[in-house]
């Protein structure tokens, strides 16, 4: 009897742009997925050695431990300013920030608006999990109306605490923005779409097409007080109606790119 020929095929491998350091994220947290997608894109574009990342203050404060490229760590909300300083003196490098919603939409509102306004040629990966993860689940500017957090224990009352900020919509209005979209990380199909968007965002930067941002709807099972699986369902059911998954700004050159 002939022995059957087995062909070894790589179906899953760690991207070279990830360092292999185990992350400190909670089980079921989608920060890890977002990291992997960025790393895959850096690999595919073969730009890892030309890339400088800017880590935020938030749960992803140690992002620099997980990526296999040069990194700096910014003050809370200031990553876009730091990235500006780097990009202006290293215009041929790929510079990206990775920021949570407290970091980007609250304390760093001024910095993010102005990089978009200037059309700063950087890429921003924006993790919207509707909450301050690192400090234990307080209300964020993105917290949904009625959502309970440790600092809105009876639910976000829009009368006194205001409405969620829609950052992608807001930033897309700036003429300096080349690519601004929202995607979600709650299931494989959406994860694939998120990756495509991240690729386009980095391509936009590589081609000098202005500010690019991908907002990623993400989960924080720990501070939402649900299981990882429930968190995915909660995201789909509650977040997407408030934060539609759309392309808010895609300049024509980018619309033609296919990945």
Ligand X SMILES: Cc1ncc(C[n+]2csc(CCOP(=O)(O)OP(=O)(O)O)c2C)c(N)n1
Residues that bind another protein (CB under 8 A): 19, 48-52, 54-55, 61-62, 64-65, 67-75, 78, 81-86, 88-90, 93, 110-111, 113-114
Residue 60 binds: one of ligand X, another protein, ligand SF4, none (C-beta under 5 to 8 A by kind): ligand X
Q: What is the spatial distance between Cα 152 and Cα 118, in angstroms, rounded to a whole number? A: 35
- Give 140 or 209: the residue with its C-beta nearer to ligand X: 140
* 217 contacts ligand X (rule: CB under 6 A): no
Tokens of 54: 């800017």
Q: Which of 17, 41, 80, 103 binds ligand X (CB under 6 A)?
A: 103
Rounded to a whole number of angstroms, the minimum distance from the CB of residue 26 to ligand X is: 11
Q: What is the spatial distance between Cα 221 and Cα 51, in angstroms, rounded to a whole number? A: 31
Specify the residue for token string 């999990």. 129
Q: What is the spatial distance between Cα 32 and Cα 24, in angstroms, rounded to a whole number? A: 9
Contact residues for ligand SF4, defined by CB under 6 A: 25-26, 29, 31, 59, 129, 133-134, 220-223
Residue 221 binds: one of ligand X, another protein, ligand SF4, none (C-beta under 5 to 8 A by kind): ligand SF4
Beta strands in 21-69 (DSSP E): 51-55
Tokens of 63: 């992002």
Rounded to a whole number of angstroms, the minimum distance from the CB of residue 83 to another protein is: 6
Residue 147 binds: one of ligand SF4, ligand X, another protein, none (C-beta under 5 to 8 A by kind): none
Query: Read out DSSP for 224-254?
Result: HTS-HHHHHHHIIIIIHHHS---EEEE-HHH
Residue 149 binds: one of ligand SF4, another protein, ligand X, none (C-beta under 5 to 8 A by kind): none
Rounded to a whole number of angstroms, the minimum distance from the CB of residue 49 to another protein is: 5
**H or E segment and range at residue 64:** helix 63-66
Q: Which of 134, 171, 201, 214 binds ligand X (CB under 6 A)?
A: 134
Tokens of 215: 């907002």
Q: What is the spatial distance between Cα 68 and Cα 217, in angstroms, rounded to a whole number? A: 24
């Amino acid at each position: 009897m002939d022995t059957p020929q087995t062909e070894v095929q790589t179906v899953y491998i760690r991207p070279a742009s990830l360092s292999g350091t185990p992350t400190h994220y909670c089980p079921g947290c989608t920060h890890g997925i977002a990291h992997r997608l960025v790393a895959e894109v850096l690999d595919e574009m073969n730009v890892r050695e030309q890339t400088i990342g800017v880590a935020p203050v938030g749960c992803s404060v140690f992002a620099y431990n997980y990526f296999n490229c040069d990194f700096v760590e910014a003050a809370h909300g200031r990553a876009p300013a730091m990235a500006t300083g780097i990009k202006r003196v290293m215009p041929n490098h790929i510079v990206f920030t990775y920021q949570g919603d407290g970091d980007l939409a609250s304390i760093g509102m001024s910095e993010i608006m102005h990089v978009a306004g200037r059309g700063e040629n950087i890429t921003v990966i924006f993790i919207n999990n509707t909450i301050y993860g690192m400090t234990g689940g307080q209300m964020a500017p993105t917290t949904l109306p009625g959502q309970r957090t440790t600092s809105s224990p009876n639910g976000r009352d829009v009368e006194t605490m205001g409405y969620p900020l829609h950052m992608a919509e807001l930033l897309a209005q700036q003429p300096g923005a080349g690519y601004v979209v929202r995607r979600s990380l709650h299931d494989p199909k959406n994860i694939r779409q998120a990756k495509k968007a991240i690729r386009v965002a980095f391509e936009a930067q590589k081609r000098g097409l202005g500010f690019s941002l991908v907002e990623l709807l993400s989960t924080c099972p720990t501070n939402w007080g649900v299981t990882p699986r429930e968190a995915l369902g909660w995201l789909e059911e509650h977040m997407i109606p408030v934060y539609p998954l759309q392309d808010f700004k895609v300049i024509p050159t980018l619309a033609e790119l296919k990945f």
